[in-house]
């Protein structure tokens, strides 16, 4: 058991103090409950966590709560799907009337010692089921009814979460139309979830946590990590164990559009690693528009955040830089297909995932709430629109959060499939070189060098000051899907603290 600090007047304990004062018998069950049975309680300042995942039921949810986060509960159950070689769990993060669905898989190697990875896909509005069933999870969907084991899952050396967030994505839902439309709102939910999980399942307390994400995850992950880091001070004040936030891992991220927009010209016309996609005349016209796009974006979206002017600048840059690429596969320049409008045209596995997760038997096994059952979709356009309307795409400098995390000793891995277009290696490399922190010269001064897997060149990399940038040759936007062996090797080396 763990004793909480007594009530004081410090702001970090204000919520806790209110909770204590409102408990007339100085006793507040903060529930770990299965049905009506309580496994944990908060009583006279003592916190009794559930303790072990083995206590979870496979037939009904166990509910976890926490006095520092009174608005949040976590429901979790054992599940028998995807990979019979390891324990799997599913559940919901309940934020009053908002409910976020998650999957959790223990490590294949040593769940009692291996690190923890949190994974989210991007969008905004993309379900993390794509990361699970298509990229780095322990199984891949083969048809509407079945999956097969995936030997290159990232849970080989790590315990891994996949979370459908924000609300409205995947199996996540709201009871009364509540929405989350900014990365900062979403970050609060993830920080509370991680705290409740680590506090209840004591074998993970103090275990290294790595926040990982793809695409718009390049904006999600830096803010999620910063929120967890900052809230650790509140946990310390309450006498609780802080979360051991160790690193962020961003794959094919669109983190800084100030460097990404100009890179669309390079990706089509001037990439030293890939043949030009557009003709000479079109490339010349695009080259002339690059400085205009850069200037308008800088003035309207960086130096100030004016909703109307920034939206106009973004519309101009999108047209100037990507209009000619509109009907091509935005996720892989080396995979020709008409994939811009519907990802399933280029990646049929995505439709298989939708069909598999739409299956009533699958939903029953996963424990999906009745309110979220029915046809499943990998993407939610309304969530994407809400984030755009709140200027979340362009309204905050996500790269500054990476710099701040590096300054505080949180390592950062930026990896990119070399043939991606939408969040390409050129824009990502420029972003890393522009980051400012006290050890920036340790990174900038290093040349790009090749990294290898089994004696074969897997890409190029640069490391220094806690930051690593790496490309994965032959991979597009969903790098673990295209190059599973190399992506797993990259992840395992990173978790082990090795250089590439």
Q: Give CA–CA dist 255/216, Å, rounded.
A: 7
pLDDT in tens, 427-458: 999 999 999 999 999 999 999 999 999 999 99
Evaluate if residue 383 carries a pLDDT over 50: yes
pLDDT in tens, 338-362: 655 578 888 999 999 999 999 999 9
CA-based nearest residue to 220, from 248, 195, 242, 245: 248
Three-state secondary structure call for residue 155: helix
Evaluate if residue 163 carries a pLDDT over 50: yes
Q: Which residue has the higher pLDDT, 18 or 81?
A: 81
Three-state secondary structure call for residue 104: strand
Evaluate if residue 478 carries a pLDDT over 50: yes
Look up tokens 């909480």; give the residue.
4
Q: Give CA–CA dist 382/385, Å, rounded.
A: 5
What average pLDDT score do residues 237-255 get? 95
Domains of the chain: 71-256+331-337+353-500 (3.40.50.1820)
Three-state secondary structure call for residue 239: coil
Predicted TM-score (pTM) of the model is 0.90
Instruction: Give me the residues paired with residue 64 across strands.
Output: 32, 74
Q: Give CA–CA dist 306/390, Å, rounded.
A: 11
Cis peptide before 166 (omega within 30 of 0): yes
Three-state secondary structure call for residue 23: coil
Q: Which residues are catalytic?
A: 215, 420, 477
Q: What rounded mean pLDDT belongs to the chain? A: 88
Residue 288 has which token pair?
């002339």
Q: Give CA–CA dist 36/62, Å, rounded.
A: 10
pLDDT in tens, 97-126: 999 999 999 999 999 999 999 999 999 999
Evaluate if residue 327 carries a pLDDT over 50: yes
Q: Give CA–CA dist 4/308, Å, rounded.
A: 48
Write the DSSP symbol of residue 31: E
Q: Out of 15-24, 328-337, 428-437, which region has the weakest mean confidence (pLDDT)?
A: 15-24
CB 328 within 8 A of CB 339: yes
Instruction: Give me the residues paired with residue 3 across strands.
Output: 46
Instruction: Please report the sign of the dihedral spanned by the C-alpha atoms of residue 274, residue 279, residue 280, residue 284.
Output: negative
Look up tokens 């769940």; give the residue.
111
Residue 417: its H or E element: strand 411-417
pLDDT band at 23 (very low <50, low <70, confident <90, very high): very low
Q: Give CA–CA dist 249/242, Å, rounded.
A: 20
């Amino acid at each position: 058991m763990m004793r909480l600090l007594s009530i004081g007047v410090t702001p970090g304990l204000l919520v806790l103090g209110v909770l204590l004062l409102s408990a007339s018998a100085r006793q507040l069950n903060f529930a770990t409950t299965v049905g009506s049975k309580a496994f944990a309680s908060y009583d006279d300042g003592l916190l009794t966590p559930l303790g072990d995942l083995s206590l979870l039921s496979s037939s009904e949810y166990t509910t976890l709560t926490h006095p520092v986060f009174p608005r949040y509960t976590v429901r979790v159950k054992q599940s028998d799907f995807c990979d019979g070689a390891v324990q799997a769990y599913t559940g919901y993060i309940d934020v009053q009337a908002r409910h976020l669905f998650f999957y959790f898989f223990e490590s294949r190697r040593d769940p009692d010692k291996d690190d923890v990875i949190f994974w989210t896909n991007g969008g905004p509005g993309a379900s993390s089921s794509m990361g699970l069933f298509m990229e780095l999870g322990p199984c891949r969907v083969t048809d509407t009814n079945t999956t097969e084991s995936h030997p290159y899952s990232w849970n080989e050396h790590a315990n891994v979460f996949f979370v459908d967030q924000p609300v409205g994505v995947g199996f996540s839902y709201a009871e009364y139309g509540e929405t989350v439309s900014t990365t900062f709102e979403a970050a609060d939910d993830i920080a509370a979830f991680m705290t409740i999980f680590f506090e209840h399942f004591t074998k993970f307390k103090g275990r290294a946590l790595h926040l990982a994400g793809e695409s718009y995850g390049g904006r999600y992950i830096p803010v999620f990590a910063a929120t967890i880091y900052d809230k650790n001070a509140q946990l310390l004040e309450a006498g609780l164990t802080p979360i051991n936030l160790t690193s962020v891992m961003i794959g094919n991220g669109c983190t800084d559009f100030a460097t990404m927009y100009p890179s669309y010209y390079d990706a089509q016309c001037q990439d030293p690693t890939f043949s030009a996609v557009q003709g000479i005349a079109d490339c010349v016209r695009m080259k002339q528009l690059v400085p205009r796009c850069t200037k308008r974006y800088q003035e309207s979206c960086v130096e100030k955040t004016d909703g109307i002017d920034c939206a106009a600048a973004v519309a101009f840059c999108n047209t100037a830089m990507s209009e000619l690429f509109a009907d091509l596969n935005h996720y892989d320049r080396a995979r020709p297909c008409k994939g811009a409008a519907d990802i399933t045209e280029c990646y049929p596995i995505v439709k298989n995932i939708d069909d598999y997760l739409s299956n009533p038997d699958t939903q029953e096994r996963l424990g999906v709430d009745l309110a979220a059952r029915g046809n499943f979709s990998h993407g939610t356009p309304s969530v994407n629109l809400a984030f755009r309307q709140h200027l979340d795409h362009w309204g905050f400098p996500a790269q500054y959060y990476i710099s701040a995390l590096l300054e505080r000793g949180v390592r950062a891995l930026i990896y990119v499939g070399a043939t991606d277009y939408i969040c390409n290696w050129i824009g990502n490399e420029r972003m890393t070189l522009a980051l400012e922190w006290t050890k920036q010269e340790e990174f900038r001064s290093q040349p790009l060098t090749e990294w290898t897997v089994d004696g074969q060149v897997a890409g190029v990399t640069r490391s220094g000051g806690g930051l690593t940038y790496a490309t994965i040759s032959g991979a597009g936007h969903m790098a673990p899907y295209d190059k599973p062996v190399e992506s797993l090797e990259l992840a395992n080396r990173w978790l082990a603290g090795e250089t590439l």
